Chains A and B, each alone.
Chain A
């Protein structure tokens, strides 16, 4: 399609792989992707992302390898945001990071809920 932006990932195609180095974050424009953690026991799905969701932003702030694999569940269109472009603009306009902070804050809230649910399942006592 000529009248769209970003890059098309076919269903099953990875957008990023766990353990890779990265200097970009991504904005999902169309489709759905899954977040997968790969370990000795196989793959664990950590979550699903939809249009408008931002992922891979940890690579912008930390010089660490990707913590999870992101794979397209269906044909998905993804826009890449370069670290250099993002950080240069944040230097001029710190409020540009609001949307990312909101997304990270939402994720921390979800993880808090998940930890509470797991603890309740394991016996309920706080350490």
Chain B
């Protein structure tokens, strides 16, 4: 039987942070900045004087890939609510567009899914300062906003490139490319999986193994605010297309640009061309014509952890450790960053403490991802079965057109697309007899009758 990667590493002496200790955070994306923010906020509460240095050489006020952390840039509905509850409000200058609905596109037609209340609770943001060659604006990148939030609570930003981490006299030493070497009492790795630093840490021999990854594709098209308003509105557009190796494709409206995000296995130019050339995608652009792409990248994302995300005086947060499968990566960064910060301050910084108090958060996400894999496999099957696609379309449209209906499928699709609920919760709702019967009925009826359009997109009717 395979040993769980989350098994305890064995007993270690209890290591606790004390007044005057220092913490290094490597990486200034959401995971790193949120760790620093919550750590400092909690340290103030328990009156512990621990300095936090956050190493991030990237300038988030720079446009294009140089200032960007390469991500679709969607802050999920649940994270927006939780941050607001924490007293962290994402300011308007950071939000490129508030999203209030999803539109599902398939070859058999489109369906719009509106949540009850029609409230904008999903934020489309730029991780950097916008696409390459985009106009200079007063907008602030999401990552810069979080970094400034962390610094406002006493974190020191070190704009240096970290070349490696070494062990010296039982403590981690951070070595920078400019020659600086400094010892710390805890090192928090929040570099994501697109950094060489994870290999360096693997070589330390402390039991850390870098996560399994998969390549994604992200590109930006300039359309202008008015045309985006007319053609896409405040909706995210997701695609269930019969394309091999494609798990998920989405269009995300942001300011003057539309972000295209593709997730799947072995994404290559052929898959990208097939997706962008499909009539379903083209129909979302004015006149069915895609403008030239102005910025693109193929970052890797964490698919599954391959070992514990901690050791004595070392912890991985966000993508470097464990994240949610395909969805809500920023939400997972928040959850792991806060759990690691709370553990480090209140329980200790030994591998044993992280295993007992930070481990449950990682294990919960990892377990839920296994259910997510099953759900995405079901979705993948539906992609290849025209009858299933027609049933999904018919049932979703009927639910959306009927006020006060249980809207079971719409709720499941909404949570699956937005990442607002755990995959386990989505699966539980899928076992509801009403959902099964409804889907079976729509499958039977949809087999011989075409679904009729029941809703409209901003500016144009949904395709039948």
Q: In the assembly, what is the distance between CA of A1 and CA of B117, in Å?
A: 17
Chain A residues 67 to 119 lying within 8 A of chain B, measured CB to CB, are: 79-82, 85-86, 89, 92-93, 95-96, 99-100
Is B96 among interface residues, defined by CB-CB distance under 8 A?
A: yes
The residue in chain B whose Cβ has the minimal distance to the Cβ of A89 is B82
B121/A79 in contact, CB under 8 A: yes
Minimum Cβ distance to chain B for residue A93 (Å)? 6
Q: Measured between alpha carbons, how far is A86 from B89 in the docked complex, in Å?
A: 16
Does B383 reach chain A (CB closer than 8 Å)?
no
- Docked-complex contact A3 and B85, CB < 8 angstroms: no
B84 within 8 A of A: yes
One of B5-13, B306-314, B334-342, B446-454 contacting the partner: B334-342
Q: When chains A and B are docked, how far (Å) is the Cα of A86 from the Cα of B119?
A: 17
Do residues A5 and B234 form an inter-chain contact, with CB atoms below 8 A? Answer: no
Is the CB–CB distance between B92 and A6 below 8 Å? no
A2-B98, A3-B97 known; A93 vs B338 contact (CB < 8 Å): yes
How long is the Cα–Cα vector from A82 to B90 in the complex, in angstroms?
18
B 78-123 contacts with A by CB, 8 A: 78, 80-82, 84-87, 89-90, 92-93, 95-98, 117-123
Query: Which of B89, B335, B364 has the most chain A CB atoms closer than 10 A to its own CB?
Result: B89
* Cα(A2)–Cα(B253), bound, Å: 10
Q: Tell me, in angstroms, the Cα distance from A113 to B250 when the chains sit together.
A: 54
Q: How far is the CB of A21 from chain B (nearest CB, A)?
A: 15
Measured CA separation A56–B89 after assembly (Å):
18
B166 contacts the other chain (Cβ, under 8 Å)?
Answer: no
Quote the shortest CB–CB distance from A32 to chain B (angstroms): 16
Residues of chain B within 8 A of A92, CB atoms compared: 335, 361, 364
| B158 on interface, CB distance cutoff 8 Å | no
Once the chains bind, are A29 and B85 in contact (CB under 8 Å)? no
B92 contacts A4, C-beta separation under 8 Å: yes
B16 touches A (CB below 8 Å): no
Q: Is the CB of B121 within 8 A of A96?
A: no
Q: Which of B80, B84, B87 has the most CB of A within 10 A?
A: B84
Contact between B120 and A27, CB atoms less than 8 A apart: no
Quote the shortest CB–CB distance from A96 to chain B (angstroms).
6
Interchain CB contact under 8 A, A4 and B120 = yes
Give Cα A6–Cα B119 distance, bound, in whole angstroms.
6
What CA separation (Å) do A31 and B268 show in the bound complex?
48
Q: How far is the CB of B42 from chain A (nearest CB, A)?
A: 8
Known: A1-B92, A3-B97. A85 touches B78 (CB 8 A): yes
Chain A interface size band reads 20 to 34
**When chains A and B are docked, how far (Å) is the Cα of A7 from the Cα of B118?**
8
Chain B residue total in the interface (Cβ 8 A): 36
B229 an interface residue at 8 Å Cβ cutoff? yes
- Decide: B81 and A79 in contact? CB cutoff 8 A: yes
A85 to B342, CA, bound (A): 21
Question: Given A4-B98, A4-B120, A5-B80, do A96 and B85 touch, yes or no (CB 8 Å)?
Answer: yes
The digit string for B108-141, where 1 denotes a CB below 8 A from any CB of A, is 0000000001111111000000000000000000
**Contact indicator A80/B119 (Cβ below 8 Å):** yes
**Smallest CB-CB separation from B234: which chain A residue?**
A2
In the complex, chain B residues whose CB is within 8 Å of the CB of A51: 89
Question: Are A85 and B95 touching (Cβ within 8 A)?
Answer: no
Question: Given A2-B97, A2-B98, A5-B90, A80–B117 Cβ distance below 8 Å?
Answer: yes
Residue contact A93 to B335, C-beta cutoff 8 Å: yes
Chain A 17-55 interface mask (CB, 8 Å, partner B; 1/0)? 000000000010100000000000000000000011010
Q: CB distance A7 to B120 under 8 Å?
A: yes
Inter-chain contact A7/B98, CB cutoff 8 Å: no
Whether A3 lies near B82 (C-beta < 8 A) is no
Contact between A27 and B339, CB atoms less than 8 A apart: no
Selected contact of B89 from candidates A3, A52, A89, CB within 8 Å = A52
1/0 per residue, CB under 8 A from A, across B32-43: the answer is 000000000010
CB neighbours (8 Å) of B420 from chain A are: 85
Min distance, Cβ B225 to any Cβ of chain A, angstroms: 7
Contact indicator A3/B95 (Cβ below 8 Å): yes
CB distance from B406 to the nearest CB of A (A): 15
Does chain A have a CB within 8 A of B255?
Answer: yes
| CB-contact partner of B84 in A81, A93, A95, under 8 A | A81
Residues of B near A100 (CB, < 8 A) are 85
Interchain CB contact under 8 A, B87 and A99: yes
Establish whether residues A79 and B80, one from each chain, have CB atoms under 8 Å apart when the complex forms. yes
List B contacts of A27 (CB < 8 A).
84-85, 89
Partner of A3, one of B77, B98, B364: B98
Question: Can you add 18 more A-B contacts, CB < 8 Å, to A2-B97, A5-B123, A80-B81?
Answer: A3-B93, A3-B95, A3-B97, A5-B90, A5-B122, A6-B98, A6-B120, A7-B117, A27-B89, A52-B87, A79-B84, A81-B85, A85-B81, A86-B81, A86-B85, A93-B342, A95-B42, A95-B342
CB pairs A–B below 8 angstroms (12 shown): A1-B92, A2-B234, A4-B95, A4-B98, A5-B122, A5-B123, A7-B117, A27-B85, A81-B85, A86-B81, A93-B342, A95-B42
Q: Which 4 A-B pairs have the closest CB atoms?
A: A27-B84, A81-B81, A7-B119, A5-B98
